[in-house]
Amino acid sequence: MGIHHITAIAGDPQRNLDFYAGILGLRLVKLTVNFDDPGSYHLYYGDEIGRPGSLLTFFPWPGGMPGRQGTGQIGTIGLEISATSLGFWIERLLSHGIKFEGPSRRFDEQVLGLSDPDGLLLELVATQGAAAIPPWSEGVLPQEHMIRGVHGATIWEDGDAGTDELLQQTLSFYPIGEDGGLLRFQSPGAGAGSTISLRRAAGFWRGSGGVGTVHHVAFRAVDDQEQVAKHAEIEARGLGITPVIDRQYFHSVYFREPGGVLFEIATDGPGFTIDEAAAELGTHLKLPPMYEASRLEIERVLPPLRLPHAPAPGAT
Ligand code: ZN
């Protein structure tokens, strides 16, 4: 079960959009609200149609308190680029005045470390396999250099809290080794979103949620049946898990893994074209049916956003 999406908390939504869509060149595939807090946005970035494994999403909380990175949290999000794109990205980051570390070698891959405008830790991971993942055909960056999706997530764990067993026994990950203080696990099958790394930092301070931290990571269920089966397995492990919640673009269940990170299992379907044509993804504020009647009030509360691909005035 590879990664479906990773969701983090941002500050200002425009700054988030300018960074992820503008500088990193991801496609805004859905502009909607936080279904649990419709007075704030939920921004989804991904590939051409927002395939599971390509998705990075944000709850922007303008003026929100910064979180603290520590154990019981996802510390770093890896984004996958092609092995031949390292030079392009070094030049791009330099030209935008974005500080980075590296490249450094880990698990036979070159890694550039950087932070987003809210201090969220990111890595651009250059892999041999990335070139086989199709890029967004209409993106602002040269296709061969585009980010292909999520490479993985690094969980900061306080010693051996039991995350390892859960990943292997319930989520079908298998260990592939240790490098640079990271234990790495891989999900069967190649493609985006297939790695989870554990950094065991016994006694390190505990993380707390807030701006610049990851809220949760979601793993893929191919369909509702697989989700039901996983729900039963997780419950049988004695972990509390929510009932299925309709997230419009996928169906979700949530639980806290033994180390404290919020995990979700999300179905591959129905996907982002359920309420918007593929060519128009991310160009309009979309609301789930339960909030459509309150659209005017919601639009009044949300801060205005300048979208990266807004049509020219007068265009239909
Ligand atoms: Zn989620």
Report pLDDT for 316. 45
C-alpha to C-alpha distance for 102 and 14, rounded to whole angstroms: 28
Query: Could you give the number of structural domains in the chain?
Result: 1
Instruction: Tell me how far the alpha carbon of residue 228 lies from the centroid of ligand 1, in angstroms.
Output: 17
313 falls within a domain: no
Helix (H, G, I), strand (E, B), or coil: what is residue 296?
helix
Instruction: Tell me how far the alpha carbon of residue 215 lies from the centroid of ligand 1, in angstroms.
Output: 8
C-alpha to C-alpha distance for 24 and 144, rounded to whole angstroms: 13
Q: What are phi and psi of 143, to 5 degrees?
A: -55, -40
Instruction: Tell me how far the alpha carbon of residue 81 lies from the centroid of ligand 1, in angstroms.
Output: 23
66 falls within a domain: yes
77 falls within a domain: yes
Residue in the structure block whose two tokens are 């390892």: 164
Under 8 Å between Cβ of 178 and 135:
no
Instruction: Tell me how far the alpha carbon of residue 278 lies from the centroid of ligand 1, in angstroms.
Output: 21
Instruction: Tell me how far the alpha carbon of residue 195 lies from the centroid of ligand 1, in angstroms.
Output: 17
Q: Which domain holds residue 255?
A: 3-301
Q: What are phi and psi of 161, to 5 degrees?
A: -90, -5
Whole-prediction pTM: 0.96
Contacts of 130 (CB under 8 A, 6+ apart): 80, 81, 82, 83, 85, 148
Residue in the structure block whose two tokens are 């809220």: 215
Instruction: Tell me how far the alpha carbon of residue 79 lies from the centroid of ligand 1, in angstroms.
Output: 17
Report pLDDT for 280. 95
Neighbours of ion ligand 1 (CB under 5 A): 7, 218, 264
Report pLDDT for 193. 86
Report pLDDT for 308. 79
- β 121-127/73-82 pair status: parallel
Which contiguous run of DSSP H or E holds residue 46? Answer: strand 37-46
281 falls within a domain: yes
75 falls within a domain: yes
242 falls within a domain: yes
Report pLDDT for 312. 47
Report pLDDT for 190. 66
Instruction: Tell me how far the alpha carbon of residue 314 lies from the centroid of ligand 1, in angstroms.
Output: 36
pLDDT tens digits for the chain (316 residues)? 899 999 999 999 999 999 999 999 999 999 999 999 999 999 999 999 999 999 999 999 999 999 999 999 999 999 999 999 999 999 999 999 999 999 999 999 999 999 999 999 999 999 999 999 999 999 889 999 999 999 999 999 998 889 999 999 999 999 999 999 999 999 997 678 899 999 998 889 999 999 999 999 999 999 999 999 999 999 999 999 999 999 999 999 999 999 999 999 999 999 999 999 999 999 999 999 999 999 999 999 999 999 876 544 444 4
226 falls within a domain: yes
312 falls within a domain: no
Report pLDDT for 289. 95
Domain CATH for 215:
3.10.180.10
